Amino acid sequence: MSEVKIEKLCKSYGPVEVLKDIDLTVEDGSFVVLVGPSGCGKSTLLRSIAGLEPVNSGNMTIGGKQVNDLPPAQREIAMVFQSYALYPHMDVYNNMAFGLKFAKTPKAEIDARVNEAARILQLEPLLKRRPRELSGGQRQRVAIGRAIVRKPQVFLFDEPLSNLDAALRINTRVEIAKLHKMLKATIMYVTHDQVEAMTLADKIVVMNNGRVEQAGRPLELYYKPNNLFVAGFIGSPAMNFLPAQVKKGGTLALSDGQELKATLPSSCKTGDSVTLGFRPEHMTLGGTGNFALTGTVDIIERLGESGFAHVRLPSGQTIIAEVRGDPRTSSGQSAKLTFNAENLHIFNAEGRRLG
Partner 1 sequence: MADAKAGAGNAIVGMGRGSYAMLLVFFLGPAVVIYTVFSIYPLLATIFNSLYLRQPDGAYIFNGLGNFQTLLTDTTWSAPFWNAFRNNCYFFLIHMLVQNPIGLALAAMLSLPRLRFRATYRTLIFMPTMLSVVIIGFTWQLILSPLWGISKMFLNAFGLGFLFAPWLGQESTALITVSLISVWQFVGIPMILIYTALLAIPEELIDAATVDGLNQFQAFIWVKLPLIFPTIGLVSVLTFVNNFNAFDLIYAMKGALAGPNFSADIMGTLFYRTFFGNQLQLGDLSMGSTIATMMFLIILIGIMCYLFLIQRRMQRYSF
Which string of b and e fits 76-104 if b means at least 16 CB within 10 Å?
bbbbbbbebebeeeebbbebbbbbbeeee
Enumerate the H helices of the chain as residue ranges: 42-50, 92-102, 107-120, 136-148, 166-183, 194-200, 218-223, 228-233
Q: Strand locations in 14-137, DSSP E?
A: 16-26, 31-35, 57-62, 65-66, 77-80
- Cβ proximity to partner 1: between 141 and 310 the closer is 141
Within 10 Å of residue 268's Cβ, how many Cβ atoms? 17
Looking at the Cβ atoms of 45 and 212, the one nearer to partner 1 is 45
- If the CB atoms of residues 191 and 226 are measured against partner 1, the closer one turns out to be 191
Q: Give the side-chain half-sphere CA count within 13 A for 266.
A: 0
User: Between the CA of residue 259 and those of 5, 42, 238, 245, 351, what are the distances in Å?
Assistant: 47, 41, 24, 9, 21
| Number of chain residues interacting with partner 1 (CB under 8 A) | 25
At closest approach, how far in Å is the CB of 60 from partner 1? 15
We find the least distance from the C-beta atom of residue 102 to partner 1, in angstroms, to be 5
* Angle of CA points 235, 24, 48, to nearest 5°: 100
Least Å distance, CB 115 to partner 1, is: 19
CB of 211 to partner 1, least distance (A): 25
Q: Taking the complex as a whole, how short is the minimal distance between the CB of residue 55 and partner 1, in angstroms?
A: 16
Q: Which of 102, 271, 304, 316 binds partner 1 (CB under 8 A)?
A: 102
Question: Site residues for partner 1, window 18-47 (CB under 8 A)?
Answer: 47
Residue 129 or 336: which CB sits closer to partner 1?
129
Q: How far is the CB of 135 from partner 1 (least distance, A)?
A: 15
Which residues in the 127-156 window bind partner 1 by CB under 8 A?
Answer: 130, 132, 146
DSSP 329-344: --TTSEEEEEE-GGG-
Q: Which is nearer to partner 1, 142 or 297 (CB)?
A: 142
**Interaction of residue 334 with partner 1, rule CB under 8 A:** no
Q: Which of residues 42-101 bind partner 1 (CB under 8 A)?
A: 47, 50-52, 71-73, 77-79, 81-83, 85-89, 98-99
CA distance 10 to 18: 8
Q: Which lies closer to partner 1 via its Cβ, residue 132 or residue 248?
A: 132
Residue 340 CB, nearest distance to partner 1 (Å)? Answer: 48
Task: Kindly tell me which of 88 and 125 has the beta carbon lying closer to partner 1.
Answer: 88
Calpha distance 6→26 (Å, rounded)? 9
- In whole angstroms, how far apart are CA 342 and each of 223, 232, 261, 322? 11, 18, 12, 17
Task: Please say which residue, 74 or 330, places its beta carbon nearer to partner 1.
Answer: 74
Which SS3 state, helix, strand or coil, does residue 91 take? coil
At 2, the amino acid letter reads S
Q: For the CB of residue 52, give the shortest distance to partner 1 in the complex, in Å.
A: 5
Q: Is the separation of the CB atoms in 262 and 250 below 8 Å?
A: yes
Q: Is 1 exposed, middle or buried (0-12, 13-18, 19+ CB in 10 A)?
A: exposed
Strand 283-285 and strand 334-339: the pairing is: antiparallel
- For the CB of residue 88, give the shortest distance to partner 1 in the complex, in Å: 4
Nearer to partner 1, 85 or 168 (CB): 85
Which residues in this chain contact partner 1 in the complex, by CB under 8 A?
Answer: 47, 50-52, 71-73, 77-79, 81-83, 85-89, 98-99, 102-103, 130, 132, 146
